[in-house]
Chain A
Amino acid sequence: MTKARSLRERPLHFMLLPAVIIVLVFSYGPMLGIYIAFQDFSPAWGLFGSPWIGFGNFTFVFGVPGFFQVIWNTIFIAFLKIIGMIIVPVFFALLLNEIKHDRFKRLMQTLIYLPNFLSWVVLAGLLIDILSPSTGIINQILGTFGIKPIFFLGDRFWFPLTMVLSDIWKGFGFGTVIYLAALTSIDPTIYEAAEIDGAGRLSQTWHVTLPGILPIIVLMSVLSLGNILNAGFDQIFNLYSPQVYDTGDIIDTFVYRLGLQQAQFGPATAVGLFKSLISFCFVSLSYFLAARLVNYRIY
């Protein structure tokens, strides 16, 4: 039995082999360069000529005033985004599922995915315009309800929320499409059974639909947890300003402003290493949680 089993196993190893080689060379190879994080690195000196400074880069970056606030901001914003990126697409998927007109449904699916194609450089200009407290449309609309103009991009309180909401607007199409596909794959007989049992539409949604797509929700959440410390450099970089650094600065923008990204490879790699370790912890944690609690292996 064992021989047969290992005979069956061997082709699997062969299948994995090409990818393993490529990944080994091109993903693990560069990882050796992580020791730049411990060097006072300059391109002029190269990898072998740059002096070793141990944890010097780490103490340098962590010692900059405000760094810990920045970490907090990052986690706060990223966390809200992850939650938002689950609730909103699921909500839209549920609504979209109710639409019976097939063509309209498909058209909507296409259209809501569109903002995803654009980069933040483009969207930033538009957003700054719309959200302006003096000339922007949003505030004009709020004005007709008697609400005073809100400086969305310049107010410490509103800025993080604005970032979360605008990012959701940009990206919800992606999640919606996925959840919608999941919805359509739920066995219709379960719905029929629920209806026979007397469940109304809302009750059906709560008891049939949501549990039905729970695994995919868990999968998407875990996958995005790996990004917990990437609260969205492109977006925030194009929209923030000194007035909102307090609450809007995230690790990557902070690092960028310190010029670390451009010129100081040592500290930049150190920060990258730090982020990777945190992501690793989060992903491992969520993997085990998902496996234990929901009995669901992500990979």
Chain B
Amino acid sequence: MKSGRRGYALPAILLLVSLSGVHSLFAAGGTDGKTVAPGTNPSAAVPAGPFGKYEPAITVTSVRYIPPIAAYRPGDDINVNVWTREIEEKLGIKVKYNWVIEQNQYQNKLNLTLASGDLPDFFSCDAGTYVKLAKAGQLADLTQAYEDYASPDLKGAMDAFPAGFNSGKIDGKLYALSAQYYGLPGLMDAIWIRSDWLAKYKLDPPTSLADVEKIALIFMKGESAPNKQVFGISLNRDLYSVVSNMVGISNAHGGYPGIWIKDAKGNIVYGSVQGEMKKALETLARWYKMGLLSQEFGVKDIDASNADLVSGRVGISFGAQWNGWYPFNDLVKKDPTAIFRPYTIPSLDGKPAKLQAPWPVATYWVVSKKAKSPEAVFKMANLYVKYQFHGTEAEFKNFSDGGEYAVQRQLSPIDPVIDPRSEDVMSQGVANALATGDTSKLNVPARVFYENCLLWTEKQNADGFGRYSQQGPEGSYVAIRKNIAMGVQFTELQGADTPIWAKNRAILDKLEKDTFTKIILGGASIDEFDSFVQNWKKLGGDAATQEINDTYNKK
């Protein structure tokens, strides 16, 4: 039939077009971009020394997240910037990112990349991942390269926290370079109190937990008004959040929730199921009944509890040492006299509490087994540590853009690798300088901190409040050092989660949070704690405890 034949021309054309279009779609722009062309890493000898330059330049691949703070020079971006240029110039290393992604999705994308078997030459990951990769034979053994190529400063940073460095080893071989951390006070909490209210009611800072209770009651009675309900102590539903948490309160009772500790016999046990937690929960339940805690704390997330703090509905919060940056900064912006100040967390008996510290190393740097120049990682780390922590004025300025020194460092392909000795030293110097006015002993990063603090002390500029509330003479670091003098309850789980713990942890944490919240709300009696402990042990807690002792408690 004529029309029939004519009728076929159109669909045939359409089909051809769509097929060819599809083909070109697959071909066009689908650059692999993942493999480095062979031959770019010539088999020349590796240049000697921690800073030896590769000639000709080599290319190494990596992946990373995009740092949210982008202080780029004009024309720069994450792929080409101050750091990448410096690394190429000084070390002869060209860094090529297979992909970059926004921070929240980094773990997701990394998982996808690993699952499809596409490891870049080097990259960062967490402890659990690196252990699995190493056991699967995908990582390079870095032991010798570390010996040969790590600079004295880098080795110093590793030696300053040997537990961290050693957590990167499996059976004595180094598979991951720990990013270390900023030193003890950085990990710990303080009790933040409205200092203007303390002055108003002529109160001294608390020296015991009973004092805290008294102060809270006075605040509550004094500040409440007919249309403004004020309560005593801020707590949100997360219980262990970075602001308004119950960690400090637990520590005051000798309880250590969420971490592993050694008992009297030297065995590692989980803090949340020890008897001291029961006492802490009793206190919290009593406080709730008294109305010291918000009656709605069970539904408040961190935004909601921050809202209470910043709107003057509560004047006490147990939280991280950096809370002066957030959320208390916002309050000061509104009202420069409404100052939350950090104080030493007291224990029950009038002495500072012995506080807990979580495992601080979140990032490990690993090298793929297929990488042609595994030692390149150390050279880049050397350069980073040099400029960030030991640099001359000129070097430092170049890599910090003169301002907050951390801004530019985020552009480095290896960021962070932290020298644990640094911030504590800096903060002591800054506190002294602010107290005495003598700035002669400040190194470059410390001077940046100092000037930042001056913004607050001299000009009441809220931008300086955060730094001052940390490193100033009345800052959280000063307050926390008193706790450190009583000892530190560092977690015994010093590295990757062991398999049984990793698998069951979420279930056990859920059980813990649910039970604790119910007890505090008064929905269950304090004896519920004992049945919780039994359940916890049955649901994998005992097995996890055994496994952790086997791994981390080798005598």
A: residues with CB less than 8 A from B are: 7, 11, 14-15, 17-18, 42-47, 49, 60, 64-65, 125, 128, 132-134, 151, 153-154, 241-243, 245, 257-260, 262-264
- With A and B bound together, what is the CA distance between A11 and B5 in angstroms? 12
Q: Which of B128, B136, B513, B518 contacts A49 (CB 8 A)?
A: B136
CB closest residue in chain A, given B139: A44
Residues of B near A132 (CB, < 8 A) are 296
Which segment of B39-47, B114-122, B200-208 sits at the interface? B114-122
Residues of A near B229 (CB, < 8 A) are 134
Residues of B near A18 (CB, < 8 A) are 15, 18, 22
Residues of B near A243 (CB, < 8 A) are 298-299, 517-518, 521, 523
Q: Which of B107, B136, B304, B510 contacts A257 (CB 8 A)?
A: B510
- With A and B bound together, what is the CA distance between A83 and B129 in angstroms? 45
A242-B303 in contact given A45-B132, A46-B114, A264-B503 (Cβ < 8 Å): no
Structural contact, B138 and A44, CB atoms closer than 8 A: yes
- With A and B bound together, what is the CA distance between A260 and B111 in angstroms? 14
- With A and B bound together, what is the CA distance between A46 and B523 in angstroms? 45
- With A and B bound together, what is the CA distance between A153 and B11 in angstroms? 58
Residues of A near B133 (CB, < 8 A) are 44
Chain B residues 254-305 with CB under 8 Å of chain A are 295-296, 298-299, 303-304
CB closest residue in chain B, given A259: B506
Residues of A near B4 (CB, < 8 A) are 7
Residues of A near B298 (CB, < 8 A) are 154, 241-243
Residues of A near B502 (CB, < 8 A) are 263
| Size class of the contact patch on chain B | 35 or more
Structural contact, A43 and B299, CB atoms closer than 8 A: no
Structural contact, A43 and B115, CB atoms closer than 8 A: yes
Looking at the assembled complex, report how far the CB atom of B289 sits from the nearest CB atom of chain A, in whole angstroms.
16
A43-B507 in contact given A14-B15, A154-B296, A243-B521 (Cβ < 8 Å): no
Having A125-B303, A133-B296, one finds 5 other A-B pairs with CB under 8 Å, namely A11-B11, A46-B115, A60-B503, A64-B507, A242-B237
Among A7, A64, A242, A259, residue most surrounded by chain B Cβ atoms (within 10 Å): A242
Residues of A near B22 (CB, < 8 A) are 18
Residues of A near B15 (CB, < 8 A) are 14, 17-18
Residues of A near B138 (CB, < 8 A) are 44
User: Contact flags (1/0) for B153-179 with A, using CB distance below 8 Å?
Assistant: 000000000000000000000000000
Chain B residues 517-534 with CB under 8 Å of chain A are 517-518, 521, 523
Looking at the assembled complex, report how far the CB atom of A19 sits from the nearest CB atom of chain B, in whole angstroms.
10
CB closest residue in chain A, given B521: A243
Give the dominant DSSP class at B's interface. Answer: helix
- With A and B bound together, what is the CA distance between A18 and B11 in angstroms? 12
- With A and B bound together, what is the CA distance between A49 and B517 in angstroms? 41
Looking at the assembled complex, report how far the CB atom of A7 sits from the nearest CB atom of chain B, in whole angstroms.
7
Looking at the assembled complex, report how far the CB atom of B168 sits from the nearest CB atom of chain A, in whole angstroms.
16
CB closest residue in chain A, given B12: A14
Residues of B near A260 (CB, < 8 A) are 506
Residues of A near B136 (CB, < 8 A) are 44-45, 49
Residues of B near A60 (CB, < 8 A) are 503
Q: Nearest 7 pairs between A and B by C-beta?
A: A44-B132, A259-B506, A43-B111, A43-B114, A43-B115, A258-B506, A242-B517
Judge if B435 is at the interface, Cβ distance under 8 Å.
no
Judge if B7 is at the interface, Cβ distance under 8 Å.
yes
- With A and B bound together, what is the CA distance between A15 and B505 in angstroms? 52
Residues of B near A17 (CB, < 8 A) are 15
Residues of B near A14 (CB, < 8 A) are 11, 15
CB closest residue in chain B, given A60: B503
Q: Which of B304, B507, B514, B517 contacts A258 (CB 8 A)?
A: B507
Looking at the assembled complex, report how far the CB atom of A253 sits from the nearest CB atom of chain B, in whole angstroms.
11
Structural contact, A128 and B299, CB atoms closer than 8 A: yes
Looking at the assembled complex, report how far the CB atom of B114 sits from the nearest CB atom of chain A, in whole angstroms.
4
Residues of B near A151 (CB, < 8 A) are 296
CB closest residue in chain A, given B111: A43
Chain B residues 26-70 with CB under 8 Å of chain A are none
- With A and B bound together, what is the CA distance between A47 and B18 in angstroms? 33
CB closest residue in chain B, given A21: B22
Looking at the assembled complex, report how far the CB atom of A129 sits from the nearest CB atom of chain B, in whole angstroms.
9
Q: Which of A46, A49, A128, A242 contacts B304 (CB 8 A)?
A: A128
Judge if B112 is at the interface, Cβ distance under 8 Å.
yes
CB closest residue in chain A, given B518: A242
Structural contact, A44 and B303, CB atoms closer than 8 A: no
Structural contact, B132 and A241, CB atoms closer than 8 A: no
Q: Which of B111, B505, B521 contacts A259 (CB 8 A)?
A: B505
Looking at the assembled complex, report how far the CB atom of A290 sits from the nearest CB atom of chain B, in whole angstroms.
33
Residues of A near B518 (CB, < 8 A) are 242-243
Looking at the assembled complex, report how far the CB atom of B5 sits from the nearest CB atom of chain A, in whole angstroms.
11
- With A and B bound together, what is the CA distance between A262 and B110 in angstroms? 12
A258-B510 in contact given A44-B114, A45-B136, A49-B136 (Cβ < 8 Å): yes
Residues of A near B8 (CB, < 8 A) are 11
Structural contact, B116 and A46, CB atoms closer than 8 A: yes
Residues of B near A258 (CB, < 8 A) are 506-507, 510
Looking at the assembled complex, report how far the CB atom of B481 sits from the nearest CB atom of chain A, in whole angstroms.
35
Chain B residues 237-252 with CB under 8 Å of chain A are 237
Residues of A near B129 (CB, < 8 A) are 43-44
Residues of A near B505 (CB, < 8 A) are 259
What are 23 residue pairs bridging A and B, where the CB atoms are less than 8 Å apart in the complex? A11-B7, A11-B11, A14-B15, A15-B11, A42-B132, A44-B138, A45-B132, A46-B116, A49-B136, A64-B507, A125-B303, A128-B299, A128-B304, A133-B295, A151-B296, A153-B299, A154-B298, A154-B299, A243-B517, A243-B523, A257-B506, A258-B510, A263-B502
Looking at the assembled complex, report how far the CB atom of B100 sits from the nearest CB atom of chain A, in whole angstroms.
19
Residues of A near B11 (CB, < 8 A) are 11, 14-15
Residues of B near A262 (CB, < 8 A) are 107
Structural contact, A47 and B115, CB atoms closer than 8 A: yes
Looking at the assembled complex, report how far the CB atom of A190 sits from the nearest CB atom of chain B, in whole angstroms.
40
Structural contact, B115 and A241, CB atoms closer than 8 A: no
Residues of A near B304 (CB, < 8 A) are 128
Looking at the assembled complex, report how far the CB atom of A57 sits from the nearest CB atom of chain B, in whole angstroms.
11
- With A and B bound together, what is the CA distance between A60 and B502 in angstroms? 14
Residues of B near A45 (CB, < 8 A) are 132, 136
Structural contact, B237 and A241, CB atoms closer than 8 A: yes
Among A42, A43, A125, A134, residue most surrounded by chain B Cβ atoms (within 10 Å): A43
Structural contact, A43 and B112, CB atoms closer than 8 A: yes
Looking at the assembled complex, report how far the CB atom of B93 sits from the nearest CB atom of chain A, in whole angstroms.
26
Looking at the assembled complex, report how far the CB atom of A241 sits from the nearest CB atom of chain B, in whole angstroms.
4
User: Contact flags (1/0) for B92-118 with A, using CB distance below 8 Å?
Assistant: 000000000000000100111011110
Structural contact, B296 and A134, CB atoms closer than 8 A: yes
CB closest residue in chain B, given A64: B507
Residues of B near A153 (CB, < 8 A) are 299
Among A132, A133, A263, residue most surrounded by chain B Cβ atoms (within 10 Å): A263
User: Contact flags (1/0) for B492-506 with A, using CB distance below 8 Å?
Assistant: 000000000011011
Residues of B near A7 (CB, < 8 A) are 4
Looking at the assembled complex, report how far the CB atom of B110 sits from the nearest CB atom of chain A, in whole angstroms.
8
Residues of A near B110 (CB, < 8 A) are 43
- With A and B bound together, what is the CA distance between A14 and B22 in angstroms? 16
Among A44, A132, A258, A263, residue most surrounded by chain B Cβ atoms (within 10 Å): A44
CB closest residue in chain A, given B227: A135
CB closest residue in chain A, given B304: A128
Looking at the assembled complex, report how far the CB atom of A222 sits from the nearest CB atom of chain B, in whole angstroms.
32
Looking at the assembled complex, report how far the CB atom of A159 sits from the nearest CB atom of chain B, in whole angstroms.
10
Structural contact, B299 and A46, CB atoms closer than 8 A: no
